[in-house]
């Protein structure tokens, strides 16, 4: 069985990300969740916090590890001998962006393939940015994120 990475900013991890990671862990010998260490966006959580929340949420899945990365995703995949990059697709809107990115990655690294997994129906509308926005405005997000994430978001908002 092959190895895969699942790269993203995961700021913070939510149930849509976990659904993809857990399903992907059944397809691959090992899944490395790669938390981007230098995203070009304003983050709520630093890299260690994002890694800790993801690790804690998947601790029962022994073939998933969570690590930081800073380089291009296909270069990171090569570095750890992974042959595949997992991406999650929400209905419609993710496709264009993921397609274009997969073609760029293929151009850079023809030996690494991209595997897109469809988001489960219940998580199609779940985005980290929307979760943070809703939480800031006092909305209920407890069915969308793990307990630890809920606790940590609430702490940041005090």
Residue 128: active-site member: yes
- Residue 58 Ramachandran class (φ > 0 left, ψ -120 to 50 alpha, else beta): alpha
Considering only residues 84-123, where is the footprint of ligand ADP by CB under 6 A? 87-88, 90, 94, 119, 123
Q: Which stretch binds ligand ADP (CB under 6 A): 4-12, 58-66, 74-82, 105-113?
A: 4-12
> What pairs with residue 30 in β-bridges?
3
Shortest Å, Cβ 33 to ligand ADP: 9
Residue 76 CB, shortest distance to ligand ADP, in Å, is 14
CA dist 56 and 51 (Å) reads: 8
Other C-beta atoms closer than 10 Å to the C-beta of 113 total 16
Interface with ligand ADP in residues 133-152 (CB under 6 A): none
Burial of 60 (0-12, 13-18, 19+ CB in 10 A): exposed
Rounded to a whole number of angstroms, the CA Rg of the chain reads 15
Work out how close the CB of 156 gets to ligand ADP at its nearest, in angstroms, rounded to a whole number: 16
Question: Does residue 9 bind ligand ADP (CB under 6 A)?
Answer: yes
Burial (CB < 10 A; 0-12, 13-18, 19+), residue 89, is middle
Site residues (CB under 6 A) for ligand ADP, limited to 39-78: none
Q: What residues contact 52, with CB distance under 8 A and at least 6 apart?
A: none
Look up 9 and say whether it is catalytic: no
Examine the residue annotation and report whether 90 is marked as an active-site residue of this protein. Answer: yes
Segment near ligand ADP (CB under 6 A), from 55-63, 65-73, 82-90, 135-143? 82-90
Q: Supply the residues annotated as catalytic.
A: 17, 41, 90, 128
Footprint of ligand ADP on this chain (CB under 6 A)?
A: 8-10, 16-17, 20, 87-88, 90, 94, 119, 123, 126-129
């Amino acid at each position: 069985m092959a190895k895969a990475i699942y790269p993203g900013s995961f700021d913070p991890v939510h149930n849509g990300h976990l659904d993809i990671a857990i399903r992907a862990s059944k397809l691959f010998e090992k899944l490395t969740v790669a938390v981007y260490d230098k995203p070009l966006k304003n983050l709520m959580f630093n890299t260690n916090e994002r890694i800790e929340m993801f690790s804690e949420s998947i601790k029962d899945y022994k073939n998933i590890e969570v690590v930081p990365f800073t380089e291009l995703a296909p270069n990171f995949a090569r570095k750890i001998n992974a042959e595949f990059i997992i991406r999650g697709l929400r209905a419609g809107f993710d496709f264009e962006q993921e397609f274009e990115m997969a073609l760029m990655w293929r151009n850079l690294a023809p030996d690494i393939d991209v595997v897109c997994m469809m988001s489960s129906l219940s998580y199609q509308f779940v985005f980290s940015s929307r979760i943070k926005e809703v939480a800031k405005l006092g909305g209920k997000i407890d069915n969308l994120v793990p307990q630890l994430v809920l606790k940590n978001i609430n702490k940041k908002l005090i």
